[in-house]
Amino acid sequence: MPTNRSGDVEANGIRLHFVRTGGDKPAIVLAHGVTDDGLCWTPVADELASTYDIIMVDARGHGRSELTDGGYDPATQAADLNGAVAALGLQKPVLLGHSMGAMTLLALAGIYPNTPRAILLEDPPAFWAVRPDEESDRSRRQNRRARIAELKSKTREELIDVAREQHPSWSDAEIGPWADAKLRVSPKVASVFVRDSARVVDWQATLRSITCPALAITADVERGALLTPEAVASLQELVPQLETAHIAGAGHSIRREQFAAYMNVVRDFLAKLAATA
């Protein structure tokens, strides 16, 4: 990967780590999913670095960023990422996020509408459309903490074996960073999975405040994708400019399962943005 530098910034009162490909090019900030970290975007960065300055940020509690006891709700993570954008001196970057990272971008684009040039959302959980159940939330958090702890107890080689068994369509370029991220993440991030953490965001008002271009990348629910057609429709009611692109043959990790199709969708959207600049 053509990397200029890595480092840390102070953002929203904590230390966040980033890796940046650099160059005098338009900036794209990548926001990873829960238990991943910035370097899980390496294959995407490799594809885009010749044209864009790619910034891969580790969210709090992930990768080499600061571990905190709390702050894993979408509003706080949006403030974290918005602070990182400011600390790095980025002007109107494009933001691309997966899962937790995509929810972070929806919150950021609504709370800080002057920050993003555009947002691209890879299969976000539809917190705006689901009413949380407190009992299932507690169970979900406990199960996820146990799962994270189980993964962290394995060696890197064992994690790679797990990934190859569970995700046979993933490339080696995806599996290595995935395994490394699981060794670095803290079980404290399991609170991300608790839907009541999303209650700190007024989703109706926040999503209606999004003014930038937006793209939702969806996949097959029967393969594990989270974003249903009904959830997409409800999001488009709140964000009328939202475009959608469906990639068949993929589940929740769309780019890992259908990389070429995913990159085509991303490039097409970026080309349309460039044409309207």
Cβ neighbours, 10 Å, residue 22:
15
Task: Please give the average per-residue pLDDT across 218-240, as a whole number.
Answer: 97
pLDDT at 190: 87
pLDDT at 135: 45
Q: Alpha-carbon torsion 129, 131, 135, 141, what sign? A: positive
pLDDT at 145: 84
Task: Please give the average per-residue pLDDT across 12-36, as a whole number.
Answer: 97
pLDDT at 3: 53
Read off the pTM: 0.94
pLDDT at 143: 82
The confidence band for 15, taking pLDDT boundaries of 50, 70 and 90, is very high
Task: Please give the average per-residue pLDDT across 144-171, as a whole number.
Answer: 94
Q: How do residues 49-93 score in pLDDT, each as one tens digit?
A: 999 999 999 999 999 999 999 999 999 999 999 999 999 999 999
Residue-range domains of the chain with CATH: 5-131+198-275 (3.40.50.1820)
Q: Please provide the average confidence, as pLDDT, over all residues in the chain.
A: 93
Low-confidence winner among 33-37, 79-83, 200-204 (lowest mean pLDDT):
200-204
Closest listed residue to residue 32, CA positions, set 23, 24, 41: 41
Distance CA 185, CA 22 (A): 26
Low-confidence winner among 45-49, 134-138, 156-160, 210-214 (lowest mean pLDDT):
134-138
The confidence band for 129, taking pLDDT boundaries of 50, 70 and 90, is confident
